[in-house]
Structure 1
Amino acid sequence: MKPGEKANAAGFRMIAEWRPHAACWIAWPKSEPTFGDTLGEARRECADVVRAIARFEPVCLLHDPDSHDGIEVLREVDGVELIACPLDDSWLRDSGPTFVSRPDGAIAGIDWTFDGWGGLYPHERDDNVARFIIERAGAARFRSEMVFEGGALSVDDCGTVLITQQCFEHRTRNGGPDRAEFEAELAQQLGARKVIWLKRSLEGDSTNGHVDVVAAFSAPGEVVVQTSDDPSDPDYGNLLENKAILESETDADGRPLRVCTVTSPPVRRKPDGARRMMSYINFYIANGGVVVPQYGFDDADAAALARLRGAFPDREVVGVLTPRIADAGGNIHCITQQQPLPETPDA
């Protein structure tokens, strides 16, 4: 790797999340400012997520050396490795690396600049997490000076990227790359050939526009998108617009997208009026499985699982109750990061 070289120039690209994984990286919930008095419940939910994913693939569980209460329940779980690492928070999709791979079997990680979602939260230690994981994985490292997070994108396997205009505008409100420069960095680091721009994510999204709560690629030429059947939902029109954009688009190879809709959970609010951040799209695709957030709504939860079983017919789709993680602003996709298996010539 040459100094200043971008990943794609070295032959790397980001492959789809449904490709085989070597491991799933997760961070144990730590931040009391994030979880408040629900930290213990969030840790129990995280443990359930870890157990669910470990049925399908190895889990590397990071924990802050000074804040790991409750983690002992996972020490004897098959396929789970506990790894000490200084942390600020647990949203590893954003603070961790975005892995890329090369046809010769090489693996690398993109180390984006992480600023705590625009300075909303402490991030000094979390900005070092990507480097830690990349080194632990024995991968090459490509540093990007662009402020970006893994939850802001979804990719297919031919260089198509989903992102929201909302997220881009928030990241560049005080200067930064223009749209052409932004797309160029995605091309140079991830091998992106086409960017599909949705408008925004969900009301009250503390990440200011991450796409992984509203839409995700599920197979070549196929995408799942969250919609609402409640016209009083503040996101009703926005979600329909996201769906319409996707239905009018093609992937980087020119194929029209097949769109599968998943109905939102019912709108619920916290005592302060803030919306509870609930999405069924914030799932994790594992080797042979899909692990999906559930919220305790019997009918809505079951309907979402049924729709996703249709979108992933060759995988076991399982639900895990994660309402406390949701109340903190994210969910299963947000706390996970897949490390792909090395590619092979016929992969």
Structure 2
Amino acid sequence: MTLPREFGFAMPPEWALHARTFITWPVCEDTWPDELEEVRDAYAHVAKTIARFEPVTVIARPHLADDAARRCGENVTVLAMDYDDSWIRDNGPTFIKKANGEVAAINWQFNAWGGKYAWEKDNLVAPAIISHYGVRSFDAPFIMEGGSLHVDGEGTLLTTEECLLNPNRNPHLDKSAIEAELRQYLGIDKVIWLKQGLDGDHTDGHVDNVACFSRPGTVLIQACYDPADPNYAIYQENLAILQAATDAQGRSLEIIPIEQPPALYLDDLRMAASYINFYTCNGGIILPVFGGECAEADQKAQAIIQKAFPNHEVVPVDGRLILTGGGNVHCLTQQMPK
């Protein structure tokens, strides 16, 4: 089997120029039994906000396509397709690119975060998108989710052991084997392994809630300063790893902490509220904020991210209702490079 790296493909960083953003229309009544219509409006707001910066394709079940188009407006394209849930970061394709500009895509296997929900239709979404856009496909014979990884575009990948080494994903692959697969499929040279994700994260610790690159050599990390909070020990451990790490180019990392919002709960369960779960598009940063008791933390996070991305417009969007489904803006989007 020929692998992407052999052809010169690698995953671009999220801040590289996009051709479009994909979003999947909310359908899961188990996730949002009483709020589904309000959540659809929230997704539509995110879609319309991103459409200020780049083309957006919303994937919707055929019988919902007209409603999605009406809510999202004329600047958003709707593609009819069947699926199970609305987190395309994890079940959609991961796009890769060659130096000559050719774009291809990886069709990972998907099992709904370790078999937590139905996934048979979700596992068919990536190949359907790849076929629709006519790009070369590489079928990966193992489970991987887009929210579990971030790259810097210069050979370094950031992930967590909690997710990638979880036996509910790829029990036949150990750490070195997973690292070898990521090198071949994503064209990276070094993996920085953080330990755990946020408390309350049902994805088993996706890195896109914890830390991300803002440019090569610089990492944003969500910080917790309360020793009584479970996220405190998680933050301290991950911070120590980053402080000791070098990237694929041999650089020590500049680390920029962003204090977490106050704890938010749903039915007495902690939710994984994160400012790191923002989405970088062409000239814009779509930042989830939470309002209310989080307003001061929201403003501080926005200011730090604006400083980290001086050439982007940081646009806050209400992420509180979306968060009740277990993810946020980064989770509901997937980029296709230009």
Alignment of 1:221-240 (within 5 A): 221-240=217-236
Deviation (angstroms), 1:33: 1.3
SS at match of 2:328: coil
What is the alpha-carbon distance in structure 1 between the residues aligned to residue 13 and residue 84 of structure 2?
28
- For 1:321 and 1:70, the matched residues in 2 are separated by 21
**Alpha-carbon contact 2:89-2:147 (below 8 Å) kept:** yes
Correspondence 1:274 to 2:240: no
Q: How does 1:1-347 map to 2 (within 5 A)?
A: 4-67=1-64, 70-74=67-71, 76-78=73-75, 80-171=76-167, 175-271=171-267, 273-296=268-291, 297-341=294-338
Distance 1:176 1:203 in 2: 26
Identity, % of aligned positions = 45
Deviations 1:118-151 (A, max 9, x none): 1111011110111111122221000001111010
Count of residue pairs the alignment pairs up:
336
C-alpha distance in structure 2 between counterparts of 1:254 and 1:185, whole Å: 22
Cα gap change, 1:75 to 1:328, in 2 (>3 Å):
closer
Which whole-Å CA distance do the structure 2 matches of 1:122 and 1:85 have between them? 16
Q: Which amino acid aligns with 1:49?
A: V
Give 5+ residue unaligned stretches, structure 2: none
Could you tell me which amino acid in structure 2 is paired with residue 286 of structure 1? C
CA distance in 1, matches of 2:72, 2:90: 25
TM-score by length of 2: 0.96
Runs (4+) of structure 1 moved beyond 6 Å? none
1:27 & 1:173 partners in 2: Cα distance? 23
Q: Is the 8 A contact 1:156 1:217 kept in 2?
A: yes
Q: Distance in 2 between matches of 1:105 and 1:255?
A: 27
One-letter identity of the residue aligned with 1:34: T
- 1:16 offset after TM fit, Å? 0.6
**SS class of match (2:242):** helix
Aligned residues of 1:43 and 1:70 also touching (Cα < 8 A): no
* Conservation of the 8 A alpha-carbon contact between 1:51 and 1:77: no
SS in structure 1 at match of 2:178:
helix
Q: 1:324 Cα deviation (Å)?
A: 1.6
Distance in 2 between the 1:262 and 1:68 partners?
38
The alpha-carbon deviation at position 174 of structure 1 amounts to 7.1
The answer as to whether partners of 2:159 and 2:194 remain within 8 angstroms in 1 is yes
Taking a change above 3 Å as real, the CA distance of residues 75 and 258 of structure 1, as seen in their structure-2 partners, is closer
Give the residue type in structure 2 aligned to 1:281: I
Contact 2:113 2:169 in 1 (8 A): no
- Alpha-carbon separation, structure 1, partners of 2:32 and 2:188: 35
- Asked if the contact 1:280–1:293 (Cα under 8 Å) also holds between the matched residues in 2, the reply is yes
Separation in 1, partners of 2:68, 2:171: 41
Structure 1 runs not aligned, ≥5 long? 342-347
Query: Partners of 1:148 and 1:236 in 2: how far apart?
Result: 27
**Structure 1 CA distance for aligned equivalents of residues 113 and 295 of structure 2:** 33
For the Cα contact (< 8 Å) 2:65–2:78, is it kept in 1?
A: no
The range that moved more, 82-91 or 172-181, is 172-181
* TM-score scaled by length of structure 1: 0.94
Output the amino acid matched with 2:305: L
Over 3 Å counting, the alpha-carbon distance change for 1:54 and 1:122 in structure 2 is: same
CA distance in 2: counterparts of 1:107 and 1:22, whole angstroms: 10
